[in-house]
Amino acid sequence: MKKVMMLFLLAAVVFIVGCGDSSGEVMEDKDMVKEEVMEEKEEVMEDKEGDVMEEKEVSFDLTKPNALINKNKYLTGGRDTFDTAKVFFTQNSGTGYDIDVSANGAQIEVEVMDDFNCLKKDDEEEYVTLDVSQGTDVKIVSSQVAEEKRNICIAIKAIDEGEVTVLVVVNEVLPN
């Protein structure tokens, strides 16, 4: 038993001494790496002194609408829970919105509401919509300016049966 204990103690001492020796090498390596990085940094600084950045004038055309959403949704008409899709966007204060929904010839119903009423719709409670429209290509424009930032929900339902690919494009309408 004493031999095993002595062997274990010897192994522990060798391990501790071995770890202690390597720490000096690691510090030397870190110092060398740090020196190399500093040398490279000085070289880069010397190279960059001759470069001159050109000033570019950036302008925005505020008459064009800002795109908020451009995405596809896939519906399966005639199958409950698979025949509806929702798209959310944020209407900024002082702006309106322009919603284009196209379903490639399939009949769809589009409801626009705020996020609170969207939750009510999910819970199958009575809810209030901002706009409702049906057709194959639905366009809803709201020039009514929001007083404050709000989240808008677009609920799309496939009326025709079968697979329907719906393209939803929402643009921000700026007041004149």
**E strand or H helix at 79, and its extent?**
none
User: Regarding the domain delimited by 66-173, which CATH topology (the fold level of the hierarchy) does it fall under?
Assistant: Jelly Rolls (2.60.120)
Nearest to 150 by CA among 73, 97, 71: 97
- Domain residue spans of the chain: 1-48, 66-173
pLDDT of residue 31: 60
Query: Do 73 and 127 form a contact (C-beta atoms < 8 A)?
Result: no
Q: What is the mean pLDDT of residues 32-43?
A: 61
Q: What is the pLDDT, as a whole number, of residue 40?
A: 61
- pLDDT the model gives residue 18: 64
Judge whether 145 and 94 are in contact, CB under 8 Å: yes
Three-state secondary structure string covering 100-122 = EEECCCCCEEEEEEEHHHHHHHH
